[in-house]
Amino acid sequence: MTDGVTTNYDYLKHKKEALEMLKKRIGPSVGTPLNVAVIGTPGVGKSCFINTMITSMVGEYREWSKTGDSGGCGTSVTSRLTTIPRETYVDVASKETRQYNFPNFLVIPGIEDFNDETTEKLLVLIIFGRIPLNVSLAEVAEEIRDFDPSYIDEVYPATPEVAMHKIDRIIFVASAANSVLPTAS
């Protein structure tokens, strides 16, 4: 530190230390990577968060997850469940970085902060990997409202193919910039 200003050298040193700590916790690339879901209300910055995480891990910025600025005033850019597999972003990393078991990221459209049965059932289906990729969550929510629960269980069964996207970890993103912060659990 010089006169309260962090030098570029200090910044890079701290960044390298943080990445080394992350790599140590993640461990070597053995077995199946974790599926990490990033959840939050529309326009909160979920895709920006994912892009920042991946950039910090591999050292190269790309728009890994498409971003937009709905800020609660428009529609979300992400409208369907999608995934960013580990292989997609680790391929651009250094050979040394590729040996770590970085996660797959599940990109989830913004979910409004409704404390109702439809939202609860939708989240359960997402967490247990019962909704196939590229399916509109708005359409699934409509089906949950319109049809019997046994029909939903039949349409979105727990199959091995779908369960590959079962969520292992969840990161909730909230923004102080939004006037209404999530309150429901």
Count of alpha carbons within 13 angstroms of residue 169, beta-carbon side: 9
Q: How far apart are alpha carbons 168 and 21 in whole angstroms?
A: 21
Q: Domain map of the chain by residue range? A: 32-172
Tokens of 82: 């999608």
The answer to whether the beta carbons of residues 73 and 5 sit under 8 Å apart is no
Q: Say what the pLDDT of residue 71 is.
A: 47
Q: How far apart are alpha carbons 17 and 23 in whole angstroms?
A: 10
- For residue range 35-51, what is the model confidence (pLDDT) as tens digits? 999 988 888 888 889 99
The answer to whether the beta carbons of residues 84 and 50 sit under 8 Å apart is yes
The whole-number average pLDDT for the span 132-154 is 88
pLDDT at 69 over 60: no
The whole-number average pLDDT for the span 15-31 is 77
Q: Say what the pLDDT of residue 144 is.
A: 92
- Highest mean pLDDT range out of 104-118, 121-135, 153-167? 121-135
pLDDT band at 185 (very low <50, low <70, confident <90, very high): low
Q: Say what the pLDDT of residue 178 is.
A: 59
Q: How far apart are alpha carbons 175 and 39 in whole angstroms?
A: 12
| Predicted structure pTM score | 0.74
pLDDT at 2 over 80: no
Output phi, psi for 41, to 5 deg. Answer: -70, 165
Q: SS3 sequence, the chain?
A: CECCECCHHHHHHHHHHHHHHHHHHHCECCCCCCEEEEECCCCCCHHHHHHHHHHHHHCCCCCCCCCCCCCCCCCCCCCECEEECHHHHHCCCCHHHHCECCCEEEECCCCCCCCCHHHHHHHHHHHCCCCCCCCEHHHHHHHHHHCCHHHHHHHCCCCHHHHCCCCCEEEECCCCCCCCCCCCC
Output phi, psi for 7, to 5 deg. Answer: -75, 160
Q: Say what the pLDDT of residue 32 is.
A: 81
